[in-house]
Amino acid sequence: MSASEPPLLLDFDHTLFDTDRFFWVDVRAAVARLGVDPRLWEETYEAVWPGGYSIERHVEALAARASWPHPQQLLAAFDDQFADLRGYLFPDVLPFLQAARGAGRRVVLVSFGDPGWQTFKVRESGLATLLDEVHTAGVVGGKAGLAAAVVGAGPAGAEAIAIDNNPLELDAMRDRCPALRTYRMNRVPPDLAEGDGEAAYRFREARTYVDVPARHPHRACRSLGEVPL
Ligand SMILES: [Mg+2]
């Protein structure tokens, strides 16, 4: 790798990884099968995530509210069913990353969230060999500093690309790196962008970003294939 290779900055959740299908459909269902009330699962999630999410902290919070099942049973079931997360990558991810590397790009993952939880998801999704660098930002807008360090100045900076579903992160990156080509990913099918019921869990978090206003004009995309390398 060299600094002359133009960087491709990629978000993880809701951009590369179908986080809602993983967490709000499959993990939620697995926990419900063990007898946990899905509403209690959701309530304890809301209590835990502002302090940094991990499955261990979530199960701990749950155990404080319900005596069955035992936290170790929940964690064992989680480890058993969610050791391999490759199936949660959107289908265009691997071809796109291979094409990016083939095009001589430096592929940099900049995810948002708790470092341990993000590391777990990224590792088990099997992306490691296709990424040149992996970073985690802990605060909204925190990706901007990482982007500035990665993009830098000079010829590579002008060809740098960033793809994220959160326009606030893209805005902050553009503030620091005005030449950055930014893509706003939206994986939510229009017919599932609103509405309640079980179907709402399918894009529970991703849909909250769809109408967030942006300060900079970002290119809209619904798949990675729309991003020219
Ligand atoms: Mg995201």
Going from the Cα of 8 to the center of ligand 1, the distance in angstroms, rounded, reads 15
Residue linked to tokens 């970073």: 135
Domain edges within the chain: 7-17+90-226, 21-81
**The two structure tokens encoding residue 89:** 């990558």
Going from the Cα of 67 to the center of ligand 1, the distance in angstroms, rounded, reads 34
Going from the Cα of 19 to the center of ligand 1, the distance in angstroms, rounded, reads 9
Identify whether the C-beta of residue 62 lies closer than 8 Å to the C-beta of residue 42. Answer: no
Helix (H, G, I), strand (E, B) or coil at 187: coil
Nearest CA among 131, 130, 162, 158 for reference residue 146: 162
Identify whether the C-beta of residue 187 lies closer than 8 Å to the C-beta of residue 90. Answer: yes
Going from the Cα of 78 to the center of ligand 1, the distance in angstroms, rounded, reads 23
Letter for the amino acid at 170? Answer: L
Going from the Cα of 153 to the center of ligand 1, the distance in angstroms, rounded, reads 26
pLDDT in 10s for each residue of the chain, 229 residues: 455 689 999 999 999 999 999 999 999 999 999 999 999 999 999 999 988 999 999 999 999 988 777 889 999 999 999 999 999 999 999 999 999 999 999 999 999 999 999 999 999 999 999 999 999 998 888 899 999 998 875 555 678 999 999 999 999 999 999 999 999 999 999 988 888 887 789 999 999 999 999 999 999 999 999 999 9
**The two structure tokens encoding residue 59:** 């199960």
Q: State the pTM of this model.
A: 0.94
Going from the Cα of 12 to the center of ligand 1, the distance in angstroms, rounded, reads 5
Going from the Cα of 5 to the center of ligand 1, the distance in angstroms, rounded, reads 24
Going from the Cα of 13 to the center of ligand 1, the distance in angstroms, rounded, reads 4
Going from the Cα of 11 to the center of ligand 1, the distance in angstroms, rounded, reads 5
| Residues that place a CB less than 5 A from ion ligand 1 | 11, 13-14, 165
What's residue 1's pLDDT?
46
What CATH number labels 7-17+90-226? Answer: 3.40.50.1000
Going from the Cα of 199 to the center of ligand 1, the distance in angstroms, rounded, reads 20
